[in-house]
Amino acid sequence: MSLVRVENVKKSFGKNTVLDGVSFTIEKGEVKVIIGPSGTGKSTLLRCINMLAPPDSGKIWLQDIELTNPKTNLHQMRQKIGMVFQHFALFKHLKAIDNVALGLVKVKGMNRSDAYKKAMNDLQKVGLAEHADKYPAQLSGGQQQRVGIARALAMDPLLMLFDEPTSALDPELIGEVLQVMQNLAKEGMTMVCVTHEMGFAKSVASEIIFMEKGHILEASAPQQMFSNPQNERTRSFLHKIAELYGETL
């Protein structure tokens, strides 16, 4: 059974159709990288997967639970889906360690000392143990994003969603975040990443999905996608990113 199944998902905001019938599956341990022009619905797709933006129609399954079923307990299911935000979205009034521990205490109902032990462990994983007592405003963008990753990881999710996790970062800070993501991928975490970091995609993606105007236009392994894109639109988009990010594909 696939870890995630997305079936013909449609989503509109008013008259603006953002997702127009999107289907794909994610196997356990896979890393999917989603690329595509701005406004194509990439973020919306991620937000559909954890039901922050429930689809208008179509179905989404996590393992054998249908998330789009109104009877599903979303609070329970969202614990299994970690989300990392473009602008970090750390809880600004809480220290790094509190950011990570909050979900463990309030959602998982762990006692405080266990929760903080685990939170410290997760901060260590992203290389931030010595910054545990700092507030978000005292951390660099790269450090904040790593706290964001630790916060999501703390819940022991089955799946991690990344929405352009490095696009708000200064170039010299991107590497440290990608490194953490790469390690995660190697450890076998199932991931869906919206990112235009093609180096990252090349090294860890099992599949690259090219989206345009609410459709999946093409999906294939990185090698295939970079050497021989089937669709003319994919080809020209890849060229554009290559120019923009100075990557040689």
Cα-Cα-Cα-Cα dihedral sign, residues 123, 125, 126, 129: positive
The single residue among 6, 9, 18, 169 that binds ligand ATP, judged by CB under 6 A, is: 18
Binding part of the chain for ligand ATP, among 12-20, 124-132, 200-208, 240-248 by CB under 6 A, reads: 12-20
Whether the CB-CB separation of 32 and 195 falls below 8 Å is answered with: no
* Segment interacting with ligand ATP (CB under 6 A) among 35-43, 55-63, 120-128, 184-192: 35-43
**Cα–Cα distance between 35 and 82 in angstroms, integer?**
20
Distance CA 129, CA 131 (A): 5
Residue 67 near residue 51, CB atoms below 8 Å:
yes
* Segment 15 to 54, residues that bind Mg ion, using CB under 5 A: 43
Q: With CB under 8 A as the contact rule, which of the stretches 30-38, 103-111, 166-174, 240-248 interacts with other proteins?
A: 103-111
Binding status of residue 145 toward Mg ion by CB under 5 A: no
* Residue 78 touching other proteins (CB under 8 A): yes
Sheet holding 57-62, edge to edge: 16-26, 4-13, 57-62, 65-66
Q: Which residues bind other proteins (CB under 8 A)?
A: 47, 50, 52, 75-79, 81-83, 85, 87, 89-93, 102-103, 106-107, 134-138, 151-152, 155
Q: Which residues bind Mg ion (CB under 5 A)?
A: 43
